[in-house]
Amino acid sequence: MMTRAKVLLAAALLVGSASACSDINGNNVAADGDFFLSAVNDGSGTTGLPYTYIDSNTGHTIQIQSDEFLLTSDGGYSERQVYRDNGVVRQANETGSWSQSGNVVFFTPDLGSDFGDTPYQGTVRNDNSFGGSRTLTISISGFTEVYSA
């Protein structure tokens, strides 16, 4: 009888600890990890990569080839974007710090980053399955970018 109680207790602890580590509905997700740009929505629809637009400041045709966010567990992050500017391949980089509250991720770029130093935020979610894939969504200046881990 005592053995059965121990087995039931162990099973209850295992189930309880597994559910405490993950939120199946996507709202309790750790943001650290490597995220790759998978889709962009500019208000006229969503498209994958490469994503092309006209820079309103320069009139140049910009084509984003790839964009990657690496969020480290120590609160640092880096972003690396490869793009074409009127056909010339270029790279832009950003580093800084990040923090998380719930599923909201706050980014504070370092001074001198290629994308500027204005703080911004995004949201991180999972795909509603235990241990499933995660997405990081960032909306800035009318663009919504979706990154997949």
- pLDDT tens, position by position, 89-144: 999 999 999 999 999 999 999 999 999 899 999 999 998 766 678 999 999 988 99
Q: Quote the CA–CA distance of 142 and 139 in Å, as a whole number.
A: 7
| Eight-class DSSP state of 110 | P
- pLDDT at residue number 26: 54
Q: Per residue in 33-88, pLDDT tens?
A: 999 999 999 888 899 999 999 999 999 999 999 999 999 999 999 999 999 999 99
What is the DSSP code (8-state) at residue 74?
Answer: T
CATH assignment at residue 99? 2.40.128.280
- Whether the CB-CB separation of 63 and 83 falls below 8 Å is answered with yes
pTM to 2 decimals?
Answer: 0.79
Q: How many distinct structural domains can be found in the chain?
A: 1
Q: Please tell me the distance from the alpha carbon of residue 22 to that of residue 16, in angstroms, as a whole number.
A: 11
Longest CA span, the chain: 78
- What domain range is 40 assigned to? 2-148
**β-sheet bridge partners, residue 107:** 98, 120
